[in-house]
């Protein structure tokens, strides 16, 4: 297979973890006989500094004309601490999602047995938790009409029937591939937009008779994820709720540095770790590259290259089992490994398998 990637390292630790993710992609393509080509592009704070735009037109065109986008992170404290900044790195991420029509964000929440002790939840609650959060990504308050003044501001949580139907379809289809359980998360007791979500979900549910469909208010869902994370199989929700719940889900696994994500829709899919740019760690060789590497696994699996994705996951699991880990998840007294060393170990595992 010929595979053309747009590579967007972005800000902070992005370039460091991207180097490892790309090295794994190269090793897999070499092992399985795929032809890989790729081109770098700028985004986020890096792009603002260079051209004044967090998602330049050249970057967009490269993404549009590639088979997939491998993305790392955006964000910089100089923008976070300036409420008057008119252009922000995160606007580039929103622009990428909107321009590429990436309406579905797929975030697996998977626990690793050897890291359960790192979770803030008790072992008996979190061990075996394995579910997917599907977040609508291009509608709702993040993209609705806005107004901001010194004494008044508002954001509009706007959704249309086609937007809701297409993301619910993704949710039902993922449930069919897994354990046939879909939880629709909303706030239908308060919000009109949520009532439309629930109405459409109830209309669509009979089309998937094998799927057990339940409905849960977002506040209850947030509590249930902590009290009983193993209850969930596939969860689908709107943009703002999804943003919050997916971050909550990532924490229960013990480290945000372990979880990948995919954003899919009308055009080129994007694969990225769910953590941020962690600018404080930039250049220190301590950032965990596993989420970036597992994003590469999701990328191959998206193109139905299951053996390739499986080998990456096997290599990641082996690295964890053998305590080849960056500092935040290393066992007490374990050997010291940095970003580069973990990535190199996984590449060697793949080459020698």
The model's pTM: 0.89
Contact 72, 261 (CB under 8 A): no
Question: What pLDDT does 83 receive?
Answer: 67
Token representation of residue 24? 């794994």
Taking the mean position of all CA atoms in its chain, how far away is CA 353?
28
Structural domains in the chain, CATH included, are: 1-100+268-353 (3.40.718.10), 107-255 (3.40.718.10)
- For CA atoms 238, 243, 244, 250, give the dihedral sign: positive
Q: Which of 45, 27, 140 is nearest to 90 (CA)?
A: 45
Q: DSSP string covering 66-119, please? A: SSEEEEEE---HHHHT-TT-SS-HHHHHHHHHHHTT--EEEEEEE--GGGGGGS
Range list of H helices, the chain = 14-32, 44-51, 57-64, 77-80, 89-99, 123-126, 161-177, 192-204, 218-227, 239-252, 290-302, 306-321, 339-352
Strands 130-136 and 234-237: parallel
pLDDT score at 252: 85
What does the alpha-carbon distance between residue 21 and residue 203 come to, in Å, rounded to a whole number? 41
Output the CA–CA distances (angstroms, integers) from residue 322 to 115, 143, 335, in the order listed.
12, 45, 10
Residue with tokens 């990456």: 312
Positions annotated as catalytic residues are 142, 187, 219, 243, 247
Which one-letter DSSP state was computed for residue 142?
G
Question: DSSP letters of 276-305?
Answer: ---GGGTTSS-S--HHHHHHHHHHHHHTT-
Q: Are 18 and 28 in contact (CB under 8 A)?
A: no
How much is the pLDDT for 275? 86
pLDDT recorded at residue 333: 87
pLDDT of residue 61: 97
CA-wise closest residue to 21 among 245, 241, 298: 298
Report the SS3 class of residue 120. coil
pLDDT at 82: 66
Residue at token pair 């003044």: 149
* pLDDT reported for residue 74: 93
Asked whether the CA dihedral 50, 55, 56, 58 is positive or negative, the reply is positive
Q: What is the pLDDT along the chain (353 residues), one digit of tens a residue?
A: 999 999 999 999 999 999 999 999 999 999 999 999 999 999 999 999 999 999 999 999 999 999 999 999 998 888 876 667 778 888 898 899 989 999 999 999 988 888 888 888 888 888 888 999 999 999 999 889 999 899 999 999 999 999 999 999 999 999 999 999 999 999 999 999 999 999 999 999 999 999 999 999 999 999 999 999 999 999 999 999 999 998 888 888 877 778 899 999 999 999 999 888 999 999 999 999 999 999 999 999 999 999 999 999 999 999 999 999 998 888 888 899 999 999 999 999 999 98
């Amino acid at each position: 297979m010929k595979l053309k990637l747009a590579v967007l390292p972005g800000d902070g630790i992005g370039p460091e973890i991207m180097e490892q993710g790309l090295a794994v992609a190269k090793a897999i393509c070499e092992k399985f006989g795929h032809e890989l080509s790729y081109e770098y592009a700028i985004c986020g704070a890096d792009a603002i500094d260079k051209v004044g735009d967090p998602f330049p037109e050249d970057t967009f065109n490269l993404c549009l004309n590639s088979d997939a986008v491998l993305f790392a992170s955006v964000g910089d404290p100089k923008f976070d601490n300036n409420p008057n900044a008119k252009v922000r790195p995160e606007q580039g991420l929103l622009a990428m999602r909107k321009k590429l029509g990436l309406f579905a964000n797929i975030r697996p929440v998977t626990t690793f047995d050897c890291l359960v002790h790192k979770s803030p939840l008790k072992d008996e609650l979190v061990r075996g938790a394995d579910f997917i959060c599907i977040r609508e990504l291009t509608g709702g308050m993040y993209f609705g009409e806005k107004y901001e003044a010194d004494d008044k501001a508002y954001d509009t949580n706007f959704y249309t029937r086609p937007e809701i139907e297409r993301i619910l379809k993704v949710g039902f289809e993922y449930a069919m591939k897994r354990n046939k359980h879909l939880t629709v998360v909303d706030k239908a007791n308060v919000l009109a937009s949520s009532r439309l979500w629930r109405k459409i979900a109830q209309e669509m549910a009979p089309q998937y008779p094998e799927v057990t469909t339940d409905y849960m208010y977002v506040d209850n869902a947030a509590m249930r994820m902590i009290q009983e994370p193993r209850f969930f199989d596939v969860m689908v929700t709107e943009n703002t709720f999804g943003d919050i719940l997916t971050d909550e889900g990532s924490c229960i696994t013990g480290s945000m540095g372990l979880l990948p994500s995919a954003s899919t829709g009308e055009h080129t899919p994007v694969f990225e770790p769910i953590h941020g740019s962690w600018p404080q760690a930039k250049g220190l060789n301590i950032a965990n590259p596993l989420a970036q590497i597992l994003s590469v696994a999701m990328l191959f699996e998206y193109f139905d290259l299951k053996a390739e994705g499986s080998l990456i996951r096997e290599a990641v699991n082996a690295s964890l089992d053998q305590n080849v880990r960056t500092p935040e998840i290393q066992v007490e007294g374990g050997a010291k490994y940095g970003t580069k060393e973990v990535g190199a170990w996984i590449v060697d595992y793949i080459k020698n398998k």
